[in-house]
Structure 1
Amino acid sequence: MLFNVAPLLDGRNQAGVILAVFLGYYIKRRFFTSKKRSIKWKNPFAQDSRSPLTPLVTEQEKRDEILKKAFTKQLATEHQWDAIVIGSGMGGLSSAALLSKAGLKVLVLEKHGKCGGACHIFKAEGYEFDVGIHYVGNLTRHTLNKTLLDQISDGQIQWALLENNFDRVIVDAMSPTQREYNIPSGRGVWKNQLIEQFPEEKKAIETFFSMVNKVTRQTKAWVMVKVIPIWLVKLISLFGLPRFLSDFYALGGRTLKDVIESLTKNKDLQLLFAYSWGTYGEPPNRSSFALQALLHAHYEDGATYPIGGASEIPYRIVPVIERAGGRVLMKAPVSQILTEDGRVTGVRVGNKESSAVDIFAPIVISDAGVHNTLMDLLPENIAKTSPAWPLTSAMKPGIGCLSVFIGLRGTAEELGLKAENLWVFTDSSLEDGFNNIFDGRTLDDVLYKPYPAFFVGFPSAKDPSWESRYPGRSTITVVSFAPYSWFAQWSDLTVKKRGDEYDSLKNAIGQQIIDQITHLYPDLKNAIDYFSVGTPITNEHYLNAKEGAIYGLEHGVERFSPKQASLLRPETGIEGLFLSGQDVMCSGLVSAMLSGLLCASSVLKTNLFNDLILLHKKVKAAAAATATAQSQRSKED
């Protein structure tokens, strides 16, 4: 015999094969078979809803009419709402926009005074700063992500490409042995460049990118467990089928550090494979290789930045919601999700009983995160009925984030700033520097030493509209991490009035980081006009981020296992309550937007993914036909 058939006759394997056949049949019926759509709701992707581009609106009053529309009882109760969305982050806005396009009247309620969640901007001393959007995988091409974003924004958001080398990694910064590596755009370009730089590591490099491709080809397996019944996920997991059937789970069950260290001992190469782990805030010894693979694929074709800044994103989505009769209201802190007989009936806005406003709707979508939703907004006896309840103790918030916002006198050209990002590391270790911070050492041990790693972006250099809006000025945004415990004692104090001790601490950290940046860019030292530091408790206040974790739930290996991935889904198991946002998928603008698509599909009980794909094919075909016609006319001329 050429092979042993005994294993195929084993009862466990037979059951596994039968289950695989059943699962394939279920998925085909559920996702690839057309269903008769409810007459009540429309297909939000029935037609291409992009409209001709309109000029960038720079008048602040006009923008504030959309981005700062404040809550009033009259506005909040002017309609009988079909759905209420808690939070105006990308997950909440994308859910609301899709449901609005389907014909629902949706009310979006935002605690902050500005719309957009991590897409909002703030202004200080004549400068404008983006707080959460630093770069996004190429949105100038006709990708599925681009089609989805266009359909919820009328195609009005324009994107600018960053430099071809959109990321620069600086190793051993502040040291005589400082080294620098560029991360280029283009399929296969970075792999070939790494082979040239590390010729003796060719096998390791080729294997790494082969593993990346295996994971990204199987991303559907990750999405599927969020929509098929949880009992079915448990059943297929019992037989070990996810790892057997999908490279996403086979490789995603390993930590990033484990994979990298199994491939190479070269410290610089190890760091380059993992340099961008700060994008999701989980060190390589805890994060899943699958997540890093998705990140590499996301930026393979380059990076882009929204023209007009991050607030263009909510500014262009809100009108889609309002056009269908919806509202997006700020300064509307939801204090409770209302329930009756185990089902959701609406929300309460405000904490004082005398002034609280109850607003009713049969559907409530929370973009506030799993912890905030289940632990703070729902009665505990109701929250515990959700299959996701165990996650409130099994999963912690991610690590706290620290930001430094720097205003500079001078243009990007004068200061030598480019449309790129820096990833600065004080050594070549994957995570040792941050382990020193988060292992419980005292502030004195780390405060006055070079900060171990941080991300540096130059928003003013990335945005082609910047110079016309803020002539003679430039900005830098820095993102890093810091323990929540460093600042927790001031968390209950009023923002901007937390006292001299708090200000001294955060400014000392910010100044240390600024000193490291001016070491890399000496000409910037005398150009600094303003700086401000945001700590984990800043994020907690403005973004409602538990313990300052702007990326939501921790992004550990278990999050990408079938079990936990299946529980992080739009359906909560509580009638009328759905989830959207980063916790449903993972960190990032595109992931949050896709969570909105998943959520709207669940609310409407239809397969919007299939509808989106059909429209995307039409859009691409039309674009190709237009390009061909233009090329033909050019030849004739």
Structure 2
Amino acid sequence: MLFDTLGKLLEGRIQIGIILAVFFAYCFKKIFFKNGTGKWKSPFAEDSRTPLTPLVTDHAKRDETMKRAFTKKLANEKKWDAIVIGSGIGGLSTAALLSKAGLKVLVLEKHYKCGGACHTFRENGYEFDVGIHYVGNFIRPTLTRTLLEQISDGQIKFAKFDTNVERLIMDAMSPSQREYTITSGPDAFENQLIEQFPDEAQGIKEYFRLLKRAYNPPGPMAWFAVKLLPLWFVNVLQFFRLPRLLSDFYTLGERSVYGTVESCVKNKDLKFLLSYPSNGFLVPPNRVSLSMMALLHVHCCEYGSCYPIGGASEMPFRIIPVIERSGGRVLMKANVSQILTERGKVIGVRVGNKERSMVDVYAPIVISDAGMHNTLLGLLPENAAKKSPAWPLMKIIGPTYGNLNIFVGLRGTPEELGLTAQNVWIYRTSDLEKLIAENINKTCEQMISNPIPSFFLSSSAAKDPSWKSRYPDRTTISILSSVYYSWFSNWSGRPTKKRGDDYDALKKSIEQNIMDQVTTLYPKLKDAIDYVSVGTPLTAEHYLSTREGGLYNMEHDLTRFGPEQSALLRPESGIEGLYFTGQDVTSCGFAACLFSGFLCGSIILKKRYRLVWELFNLHRKLYGLPKGRNDLFF
């Protein structure tokens, strides 16, 4: 009897929720889509693309834009409308949108070069990409591509990979070593797997059917909506469980990749092939949301991957002029040590922490691209930080794992060395869960003395058509592998390149171990090695200011992307005048960070819902209506 009564109550609750949803939908046009009355113009009032200009290869000219250093005079040369902390793509996209609306924006970057994970560095005649090893498809017209075009004057171009986008080597360097190639294109990977594993056809179809359900356009829309809608409104929706009732993104998002794959297929290699992309989130498949896997699959596999022509630094290099055109500045070597508040309201930032040299810069709006951990736990006084709805998450969601980054300069062309544009994933086993468990349980000493369990290999030289003319007869590769910050924490706080002989010896041992494995798989590289540099989580901590050297700021686990936590990870901080942008608002990845800037700009410009409509209208004028359901966002 009790259960029957409870069931009726729950059924009634759902019915009330649906009625409320209809009512709110009726109010949507009248309340949410009314014309903005603010003083700022629309960033999408007109098409701001200009004819494509030649690639700038003069390093001195690029450095004039990318390395302009902070000075007290430059910082206080005018009255700023907004200050952005950090020059990652989230910070730059927010700054560019606000600038196009007419605001004067000051961007402050701690590093000597702007761009965050989009920056590149040069050493010994080689250029290395630190974070953008590939991006999802920016070849076909989507809202994401239109957004990027409008904040960069249409000056960023991409080279598309061929249909064989990735290569997996399983049980590497063992007698049972085998390889698989991942094919891109609509339904291409699904059809490829059905051909390779015909006995598992039904399970494969079911798995990809679930991915399509999760991605269906209301999926990304629901993910963004809970970040834009007022929090009180989202809480009402959640009380009636409407996000999960109305969007498969949230219902399927509660399922893990591991559990879904296990329920669909039996073949060991097939399970691996369906699960391996979860490594991109730096958490095991049993903690990766199926919905986030769906976004990754559609973005990078259904329509292929690509690479920015001229390298990842083209992104900041082409966006900065848009910011400066409206009177803004992007200044490097500007270490923001504190967000200034007065009577519970943000009034500016403090640059530097030494009494004689610190500079206070004032603005009514401050946008943090420094990560929520750094902002709430480091830049704000605790009494102010606790006012943020995201404050409870600081104890719930930790930082991501760190990475080893091995940067290798090679004599010869990619073709001579047998390197292609494919990303290569190399695993010592074919059991992904076991591999991750082994990696987690290893000590630093065990890592040095045994082969690395898994690593990722990428060559920007092979992906970028402009590379041959910029660096003839030279090639680079980047090698990545996940590691613990704690393995290197003894040297934390010491100046970079001055951490001592024992730290340098440890890096040398890591370098030797990994390069032995790489040259076994690629024998042509052995005699071509000209330069090697090892970056540890301490490197990321220093240059990218991520907490504990984590690659992505906040961990991308299963629970983070539910409607409750997604709603709290929003641009609005809950503190007057302070806003968030970047990975923590959305997720890792270039396109996601780009859209975090869009969400942040929407709220600051008081176009919370209108701005997406304005972007859509401009996109429609330029490219027509989207042809398919996957042509909206990613």
Please report the TM-score for the alignment, with normalisation by the length of structure 2: 0.95
The structure 1 residue matched to 2:14, chosen from 13, 16, 19, is 16
Match of 2:621 in 1: 618
Is the aligned partner of 1:301 residue 2:303? yes
Q: Deviations over 1:533-561 (max 9, x none)?
A: 11111100000011111211001111011
- Distance in 1, matches of 2:341 and 2:280, equals 37
Specify whether residues 501 and 7 from structure 1 end up closer, same or farther in structure 2 by C-alpha distance, changes over 3 A only: same
CA offset at residue 8 of structure 1?
A: 12
Match of 1:174 in 2: 173
Match of 1:235 in 2: 236
- Distance in 2, matches of 1:623 and 1:435, equals 43
Match of 1:205 in 2: 204
- SS for the counterpart of 2:432 is coil
Match of 1:285 in 2: 286
CA offset at residue 285 of structure 1?
A: 1.7
Q: Indicate conservation of the 8 Å contact 2:257/2:275, yes or no.
A: yes
Aligned partner letter, 2:99: S
The structure 2 residue matched to 1:370, chosen from 372, 375, 381, is 372
Match of 2:496 in 1: 495
CA offset at residue 9 of structure 1?
A: 8.9
Match of 1:354 in 2: 356
- SS for the counterpart of 1:563 is helix
- Distance in 1, matches of 2:5 and 2:426, equals 51
- Distance in 2, matches of 1:212 and 1:399, equals 26
CA offset at residue 507 of structure 1?
A: 2.4
Match of 1:609 in 2: 612
CA offset at residue 488 of structure 1?
A: 0.4
- Distance in 1, matches of 2:215 and 2:440, equals 31
Q: Deviations over 1:76-102 (max 9, x none)?
A: 111111000000000000000000000
Aligned partner letter, 2:39: K
Q: Indicate conservation of the 8 Å contact 1:456/1:477, yes or no.
A: yes
Of the structure 1 ranges 441-450 and 545-554, higher mean CA displacement relative to structure 2 is found in: 441-450
Is the aligned partner of 1:226 residue 2:227? yes
- SS for the counterpart of 1:136 is coil
CA offset at residue 236 of structure 1?
A: 3.0
Match of 1:472 in 2: 473
Q: Indicate conservation of the 8 Å contact 1:136/1:304, yes or no.
A: yes
Specify whether residues 584 and 30 from structure 1 end up closer, same or farther in structure 2 by C-alpha distance, changes over 3 A only: farther
The within-5 A match list for 1:371-450 is: 371-439=373-441, 441-450=442-451
- Distance in 2, matches of 1:426 and 1:24, equals 53
Match of 1:326 in 2: 328
Aligned partner letter, 2:210: M
Specify whether residues 31 and 554 from structure 1 end up closer, same or farther in structure 2 by C-alpha distance, changes over 3 A only: farther
Match of 1:265 in 2: 266
Match of 2:56 in 1: 57
Aligned partner letter, 1:377: L
Match of 1:184 in 2: 183
Please report the TM-score for the alignment, with normalisation by the length of structure 1: 0.94
Q: Indicate conservation of the 8 Å contact 1:96/1:108, yes or no.
A: yes
Q: Deviations over 1:134-173 (max 9, x none)?
A: 1111112112211110000000001111122011111111
Match of 2:558 in 1: 557
Unaligned runs of 5+ in 1: 1-5, 625-637
Q: Indicate conservation of the 8 Å contact 1:7/1:13, yes or no.
A: no
Aligned partner letter, 1:50: R
CA offset at residue 453 of structure 1?
A: 1.1
Is the aligned partner of 1:540 residue 2:541? yes
Aligned length: 618
- Distance in 1, matches of 2:173 and 2:475, equals 24
Aligned partner letter, 2:414: A
- Distance in 1, matches of 2:99 and 2:273, equals 43
Match of 1:590 in 2: 591
CA offset at residue 400 of structure 1?
A: 1.2
Of the structure 1 ranges 172-181 and 615-624, higher mean CA displacement relative to structure 2 is found in: 615-624
Unaligned runs of 5+ in 2: 628-634
Aligned partner letter, 1:348: R
- Distance in 2, matches of 1:56 and 1:213, equals 38
Aligned partner letter, 2:468: E
CA offset at residue 465 of structure 1?
A: 0.7
- Distance in 1, matches of 2:33 and 2:603, equals 16
Match of 2:125 in 1: 126
Specify whether residues 111 and 30 from structure 1 end up closer, same or farther in structure 2 by C-alpha distance, changes over 3 A only: farther
- Distance in 2, matches of 1:25 and 1:41, equals 31
- Distance in 2, matches of 1:24 and 1:60, equals 57
CA offset at residue 578 of structure 1?
A: 0.2
- SS for the counterpart of 1:114 is coil
Of the structure 1 ranges 543-552 and 91-100, higher mean CA displacement relative to structure 2 is found in: 543-552
Match of 2:514 in 1: 513
RMSD: 1.7
Aligned partner letter, 2:179: E
Match of 1:628 in 2: none
CA offset at residue 11 of structure 1?
A: 3.1
Q: Indicate conservation of the 8 Å contact 1:12/1:239, yes or no.
A: no
- Distance in 1, matches of 2:7 and 2:372, equals 43
Aligned partner letter, 1:575: E
Aligned partner letter, 1:621: G
Of the structure 1 ranges 239-248 and 556-565, higher mean CA displacement relative to structure 2 is found in: 239-248
Q: Indicate conservation of the 8 Å contact 2:142/2:626, yes or no.
A: no
Aligned partner letter, 1:557: L
Match of 2:632 in 1: none
Specify whether residues 29 and 526 from structure 1 end up closer, same or farther in structure 2 by C-alpha distance, changes over 3 A only: farther
Specify whether residues 266 and 357 from structure 1 end up closer, same or farther in structure 2 by C-alpha distance, changes over 3 A only: same
Specify whether residues 163 and 28 from structure 1 end up closer, same or farther in structure 2 by C-alpha distance, changes over 3 A only: farther
- Distance in 1, matches of 2:393 and 2:604, equals 22
CA offset at residue 256 of structure 1?
A: 1.4
Of the structure 1 ranges 228-237 and 30-39, higher mean CA displacement relative to structure 2 is found in: 30-39
- Distance in 2, matches of 1:402 and 1:327, equals 33
- Distance in 1, matches of 2:508 and 2:261, equals 36
Q: Indicate conservation of the 8 Å contact 1:286/1:557, yes or no.
A: yes
Match of 1:335 in 2: 337
- SS for the counterpart of 1:226 is helix
Specify whether residues 443 and 34 from structure 1 end up closer, same or farther in structure 2 by C-alpha distance, changes over 3 A only: closer
Aligned partner letter, 2:220: T
Is the aligned partner of 1:152 residue 2:114? no
Q: Indicate conservation of the 8 Å contact 2:88/2:118, yes or no.
A: yes
Match of 2:24 in 1: 26
Aligned partner letter, 1:336: Q
- Distance in 1, matches of 2:140 and 2:170, equals 32
- Distance in 2, matches of 1:34 and 1:443, equals 55
- Distance in 2, matches of 1:24 and 1:533, equals 56
CA offset at residue 445 of structure 1?
A: 2.8
Q: Indicate conservation of the 8 Å contact 1:8/1:14, yes or no.
A: no
- SS for the counterpart of 1:619 is helix
Aligned partner letter, 2:21: L
Q: Indicate conservation of the 8 Å contact 1:456/1:476, yes or no.
A: yes
- Distance in 2, matches of 1:25 and 1:96, equals 36
- SS for the counterpart of 1:170 is strand
Q: Indicate conservation of the 8 Å contact 2:88/2:115, yes or no.
A: yes
- Distance in 2, matches of 1:530 and 1:211, equals 45
Match of 1:629 in 2: none
- Distance in 1, matches of 2:296 and 2:386, equals 34
Q: Indicate conservation of the 8 Å contact 2:38/2:606, yes or no.
A: no
Of the structure 1 ranges 253-262 and 560-569, higher mean CA displacement relative to structure 2 is found in: 253-262
Aligned partner letter, 1:494: P
- SS for the counterpart of 1:249 is helix
CA offset at residue 498 of structure 1?
A: 0.9
- Distance in 2, matches of 1:319 and 1:129, equals 23
Q: Indicate conservation of the 8 Å contact 1:163/1:418, yes or no.
A: no
Q: Indicate conservation of the 8 Å contact 2:350/2:358, yes or no.
A: yes
- Distance in 2, matches of 1:387 and 1:272, equals 39
CA offset at residue 249 of structure 1?
A: 1.1
